[in-house]
Structures are given as structure tokens and as C-alpha cells.
Structure 1
């Protein structure tokens, strides 16, 4: 980034389109504009591109192409998977008591609203039951044993995000899944507990491989890894019976699971972004961590004990690009700092949350409210440089000094 321009540090909220992704989109819209279900040239080209993109998406997470279904984005994917679990519960004819019970979900208090609010709606509407497992204040993670203690005879799904968007703390999803899969189910209980993770924040930053993470469902969000605002879901062995119930009905596209004429241009961009992750993930991860670590070193050097880095636990891993921190003191709320900043473009946390209250995520992992209210989330990207960080820290210093004077 130019030293005279703003410094964008909100890559966890959204990423720009990679130039190769933009080229793939425009080329497809120009040359493969036909209906992918048609037999003429432009339609056939579109179909080929969609198939190639599906392969790239599968390669990115170690899956089979037949297990990938394209969606409009993460919110649709999460809603769809949770809805499938409810329908699966009621379709099970082997559990005698299901007609008298509601499906039971287990989730965490760290989830994105596209999981959290769906489950809250289901509970309030009398559609489902839900146990919200609290993350440990010692690790910022959902602990495996706490999940296991929440399992009931009518538990149908465990859904825990792969990495938190505000703190970057990586959740032990693989261990949770392995332990839940090992549970013996008894007559009258759900025969299988379905497993889901929202991998929106992890894709493109750390390795995500479904051979290592034994979930049944995984949500992918394009605009978190330099792709357009579309996405996909992974369904393990979809062609062998893992349940997926359509939300929509229509022309039969996506093998009748998600009908509607495919958005070939955006799918092409998604596939190209996945291809870039497959080719370059190690380099991406190394760069992100190097710049993020430099950011934290500079914050500590400049502000010393006036700064508190939130969610940095010795026992937990974080995404390599994410730093959540707070200035200590009155009048230093995160939104006030950002309002004064001349160069920094960042956020106080999740883009869909109010800026005027303490983050529920930070409170959930034990950050005191006065510290949480002052939080800022800086998330670096592939093009972020150490020079950008220097500009950002100088900008923060100016904001901090001005606000401190105003509050005295």
C-alpha cells in the first residue's frame, strides 16, 4: 500500500479481489456468458468453468468435487446446514421418541451470527433445543470435555467455528469431532450426531483439510480469501448418503440441492481464489504471521503497559493475521480511536456488531468489560507490509495522545 493512502487492516471483515480472480470473473462474463445448462458454445464453456472451480474448491480442502455445493455465501451455507439437521432429525425413523422430542444442537458462545441467531430463532420458535458451551477463559477455546458433557439422547448436531473472527483463536474442532464420533449411541437416541464447522476465517490463512478435520459439513466464504461474495458448503460423502435437504426448489442445478441458474462468473472467481490458496498457502501464512507479529511487537514497543492484547493465550493457536488489542484507560474506546484515525481502516470487531458496546466474544473469553470496550481488531492481508504497520502505529499514537488529553 502507498504511504500516502489509507492502511487497510480489516481483512477478516472482507478482502479485495485478487487480480487473477478479477481476471477470471471478467473473462467468464465475457466469454462464457451462456446458461450452463445449455448445449451451445457459451453455455458449455460456463459448465466447464464451473466444474473446474468445483475441483479447485475440493483440492483446497482435501475433498472430492462431488462434495462441494456452491452457495451465495456463508450465511446461506450455515442456515442451510442447520436446517438440514432439523429435517434429518425428524426423518429418522429408527428413534422411537423423536416425534415427542425436539432436535438438540450444541454450539459455542463464540459463533458468528449466521449460526448464533439461527439457533436462537429455532429455540424461540419451538423448533429445536440448544446448549451453548462457554469457551474457556484460560484458553479462548471451546474445550472438548465441555462439549461431550452437553451431549443428550436427542443431540443431532455439534457446530463449532474453526477459528474466531475477532480473536483469531483456532478452535479444537478436529478433537471435538473425533471424540463425538467415538460416542456410542443407544436405542432411542439419534443414531449419529452430525458435525459442522464454519471455516470462513481459516480458509486461505491456515491449512484446512477435511481428512484431518472429520466434520460432516464445512462452510466456505469467498470474500474472506480474495474471492467474490459467494461461497460453498462441503458435505462429506454427499453421494453416499450424508443428508442435505434443499432450501430451494427449481430447475435442478447443483444436482437438485441448490437449483437456480449458476452464477458462473462469481464461481469462476471463487475457483481461481481456491487455486491460489492451493499453490501459495505456505507463503501466505508465513507473510501474514510475520507482519502480524511485527504489529504486536511495535504496539508493545510504542505503548508498553498501556496496551492489552486480547485473546493471546499461551495454550492456544491463533490465525496468523489477527491481532485484537485495547488501549487501557478512560475515553479510549475502539470506535473513538478509529474515528480520529487519519490512515487506519480497521474495526472494533465483527463488522455486523455495534461499535458502541463491548464485544460479547471478548467478554466470553474473560476480557474485562472496560478493556473489551476499548478493543480494536487489526487483521493484516497478503499485501500488508511492515511499512504499513509503521504508518498505522504512528496514526494510533496520535489518536491515543489526543484522546488521552481530551479525557483528562
Structure 2
């Protein structure tokens, strides 16, 4: 849209021209069923295999580790269900219930900052008595999960820990590697689950920071195509969508080639945005993701402009050119973010939050337009 500055890249991203071209080419020339043995099927299968290689290379994984699903929600749900099924098939053999003890349930550890693709499924597993769930609180100093708090939540029947790699609202990067290393170092005793799986939803991190599954050490990692953005896993099955897989493969190829440039460009524009915000609204800002001891995604600025009339949804409604959000698109847009509240942000400040998430093509000229738009919106609200 002409004149519009889009700063909601953490919700979804426009497609790169190369990605669009890859999808179109696949739909034209690789329309066969990739499971078929004839030429049309083999052409589609070859394209999928190449895309899988591209994804694996981006993640530092083996191509055989990559499984494509219909989306991030399906991927997260399948992984959680896989953990539950594994517990009942393998871990309960030595736990035969007696007349005095009910059938043991698997225990999963998570947090309330997770995407609904995880938390809604966890709530379902708990409500239907399929699993026990523990939610580790966020540290109010760092805004992230701390390793010691995750370890304190582990029980004898713990089967999985699921922690997102980077939060989509604050941009705070979680200590997933440290959590995984600490869990893998635990000594499990007789009567306990022998292994605790670790899953991370890395949807917000891909294309912004380096992500290597072997460095993280996790058992499962999920990525979402519309943000570049699949699943790193070992136990899942699927039906393949050749066109979309081709587009994802091309997107991952671009990330592998250009990540350092993407990261630097986004961070420079994000820092410029925050500098201009300080200049325009001196003494009137609270940056909700800049917390001691934590690092952020290079593209994410979560900021509150302080004032009784300056609730985030009111400010955005007055903006003429800025397209952004007050938080995750999957949550109510006129309520204070539960994630900000969980990090200790007062409700009066959380209500004013704006999530400004930049993309690879965002420029400093775009930022100047956004700053002026916000300035005019705030003036109009304060004078109303």
C-alpha cells in the first residue's frame, strides 16, 4: 500500500520476489504428486528434496531431520502429542497402576509466554487429563525464563520442556541452550522418566539471529513458513505441499546467504528508531523489552508512550501511515499484554505498549515517517 509503513513483521512478512518466483515455478512445472514414481512425481520430489536441504543447511541440521507440516500450530501440537504418546508407550511400562494409584500422567514444563499454538494445546492436554502441566514464571528482572526455575519444576514424570527461542512481543531471547544443557546433565533415578525432551518454537528467531539445532542441542525445533519460516524433528509424518515447500526452501536459502546483512540492517534501523523515539518523546517512554541480563531480537522494539490517553490501540488508531500492533496478533489487541505483565511491567504501562517490529527492507527514512506519524497521533490524543 502506497504511503504505508509496515512495522508488524513479527506477525507475518511479505514474500521476497525470489520466493514468489520459486512458488510460481513449482506450481507450473512441479505439479505432480511427489509420491508418484513417474516423471511429474519425480520432478516434484526433487524440488522438495532441494528445499529440505536448504532448510537443513540454514538450521545446521541433517536433511533427514526435517519434516514439513501444514504450519507452526500443527507442528507444535504434533510434538506435544508425540511426547505424551511416548510417555504412555515407553515410560509407563514399569509404572503399573495399583488399586490405590491412578495411571501416571506425563508432565510437561512450559511458560505463559509461549505462542497459543503451544499453550492452547497444553491447556487441552491438562483439561482432558492427558498430561500435567507446569508453567514456570518469567523473571521480573530479565524478562526471561531462568535455568534454575526450570530445573526446580522438574518432577519424576517430566517428559518435556517447551520454551520459545525468542519472544514475539518483547524480542527477548530465551536461554534455550543453557536450559537444554542443564536438563541433559541431570541424573535420572529409577522410577523417573529416563529422558526429558526439549522443544523450542523458533518462529521469531529465524532470519533474525543465527539458529543452529546442534548448538542448541534441542530434540525438537519448529519454524513457521510465513515468517521464515517448518519443523526440525525425528518422529513426524506428513503430506507434502510442493509449491509452499519450494518457497520455504528458497527463503531459507536467502537467510543462509544473507543473515549477517539482515541482522545488521535491522539492528541499525531498530536502534535508530529508539534514538528518534527518545528525541521525540523525552522522559515519556518505557522500553518494555530492554531489561538487564537479556538480549533482544535485532528487529523488535516494544515501547510504551506514557500518558493517560495513550493506550496502544488508541495511538495506532490515530496513526495515518504506521501499521503495527500492540502485541501478538493471536491475542486480544485492546488488553494489556499478559507477557508484559508477567515480566513485571505495571498494567498502566503495559496498556500503552506498541510492538514495532522491523523487516529487512525497513529504512531509516521509513523510521522518520513513523516517528512523525506517532508524534501527530500523540498530539491529537493529548489535545482531545
| TM-score (normalizing by structure 1) | 0.91
Aligned to 1:320: 298
CA-atom RMSD, angstroms? 1.2
Match of residue 79, structure 1, among 77, 80, 84: 77
Aligned partners of 2:317, 2:92: CA distance in 1, in Å?
58
Aligned to 1:39: 37
1:212 aligns to what SS in structure 2? helix
Aligned to 2:100: none
Aligned to 1:389: 367
Does the CA-based 8 Å contact 2:59-2:211 persist in structure 1? yes
Shift of 1:307: 1.4
Paired residues for 1:131-150 under 5 Å: 131-150=134-153
Aligned partners of 1:98, 1:19: CA distance in 2, in Å?
57
Aligned to 1:252: none
Aligned partners of 2:168, 2:278: CA distance in 1, in Å?
22
Shift of 1:314: 2.7
Paired residues for 1:195-274 under 5 Å: 195-225=198-228, 232-235=230-233, 238=234, 244=235, 257-258=237-238, 260=239, 262-274=240-252
Aligned partners of 2:93, 2:158: CA distance in 1, in Å?
12
2:33 aligns to what SS in structure 1? coil
Shift of 1:356: 1.6
Unaligned runs of 5+ in 2: 98-102
Aligned partners of 1:73, 1:185: CA distance in 2, in Å?
34
Deviations 1:288-341 (CA, angstroms, capped at 9, x unpaired): 100001001100111011111112013110000000011111111111111111
Aligned to 1:68: 66
| TM-score (normalizing by structure 2) | 0.97
Aligned partners of 1:94, 1:122: CA distance in 2, in Å?
17
Aligned partners of 2:354, 2:230: CA distance in 1, in Å?
30
1:211 aligns to what SS in structure 2? helix
Aligned to 2:164: 161
Aligned partners of 1:46, 1:265: CA distance in 2, in Å?
9
Match of residue 107, structure 1, among 102, 107, 110: 110
Paired residues for 1:339-354 under 5 Å: 339-354=317-332
Aligned to 1:253: none
Does the CA-based 8 Å contact 2:199-2:218 persist in structure 1? yes
Aligned to 1:58: 56
Aligned partners of 1:172, 1:265: CA distance in 2, in Å?
35
Does the CA-based 8 Å contact 1:89-1:98 persist in structure 2? no
Task: Kindly tell me the number of residue pairs found equivalent between the two proteins.
Answer: 379
Does the CA-based 8 Å contact 1:109-1:361 persist in structure 2? yes
Does the CA-based 8 Å contact 1:94-1:188 persist in structure 2? no
1:180 aligns with 2:178: no
Aligned to 1:300: 278
Does the CA-based 8 Å contact 2:325-2:355 persist in structure 1? yes
2:68 aligns to what SS in structure 1? strand
Aligned partners of 1:29, 1:181: CA distance in 2, in Å?
44
Match of residue 171, structure 1, among 154, 163, 174: 174
Deviations 1:356-377 (CA, angstroms, capped at 9, x unpaired): 2100000000110010011110
Unaligned runs of 5+ in 1: 226-230, 239-243, 247-256
Does the CA-based 8 Å contact 2:171-2:301 persist in structure 1? yes
Shift of 1:233: 1.1
Match of residue 46, structure 2, among 44, 48, 62: 48
Does the CA-based 8 Å contact 2:142-2:291 persist in structure 1? yes
Aligned partners of 1:356, 1:347: CA distance in 2, in Å?
10
Does the CA-based 8 Å contact 1:63-1:210 persist in structure 2? yes
Aligned to 1:228: none
